[in-house]
Amino acid sequence: MPKRFISRFFLSLGIVFFIGIFISPEFRDELARLVSPVLDPLARALPVYQVILILAIVTATYSTLIQKFTVDTRRLKEIQKKVMEFNKEYMEAVKQENKFRLKQLEEQKNEINQLQSEMMGMQFKPMFYTMVVTLPIFMWLYALAKSQNIMITVPFSGEIHIADPVLIFPWWIFWYLLCSIAVGQVIRKLARM
């Protein structure tokens, strides 16, 4: 019972954080203030690109571990295989205009829809758990980029503000995503996911 309560609590908290950042600027500011006592000293001690790298490593590590322990990867792969096979057969039947086969496949459609719902649930659940930590970090970085004049030298552009766009993202998000994806891949390999 306590494990289930804790699980639901953090899942609900993740959903509240997710909804809250979209509807309330004050909520975003409060999330940033929540982690300021921990992250502000780090920002004073290290260059911003190192701070973002450390936060990306932390995020990639706990999100990979959460995914490893909350998702039945064998079941997920099994569902993905069934759905892909169904979609392939369906597309072939449509191309060949095979009405008999299409009718057979239509009878399987409810089962496939249920499998897709199960798969989405398996993928969304860890996302809301990770938001409990990730969103406060993001809101803190957002507030840092907004409130301070932090300049950084980057390849091909020279010196830019950390909120200046790189491709379509502000630099701090671009750097965070780049580091998080790279570290996440390494951790997944180590965790054999």
Give the three-state DSSP class for 179.
Answer: helix
Q: Which residue in 139, 159, 158 sits closest to 150, CA to CA?
A: 159
The pLDDT of residue 71 is 82
Write the pLDDT tens digit of every residue in 167-187. Answer: 888 989 999 999 999 998 998
Calculate the average pLDDT of the chain: 87
Does 103 score more than 90 pLDDT? no
Q: For the residues of 3-51, what is the DSSP string, one character each? A: HHHHHHHHHHHHHHHHHHHHH-HHHHHHHHHHHHHHHHHHHHHS-HHHH
68 token code pair? 């490893």
Write the pLDDT tens digit of every residue in 61-95. Answer: 988 888 888 888 888 889 999 989 988 988 888 88
Amino acid present at 35: V
Amino acid present at 134: T
pLDDT range class, residue 193, cuts 50, 70, 90: low
Q: State how far the Cα of 135 lies from the Cα of 163, in Å rounded to an integer.
A: 17
40 token code pair? 């502000």
Our CA angle for 164, 170, 172, nearest 5°, is 105
Element (H, E) at 118: helix 99-147
User: Where are the domains positioned within the chain?
Assistant: 2-72+130-190
Does 2 score more than 80 pLDDT? no
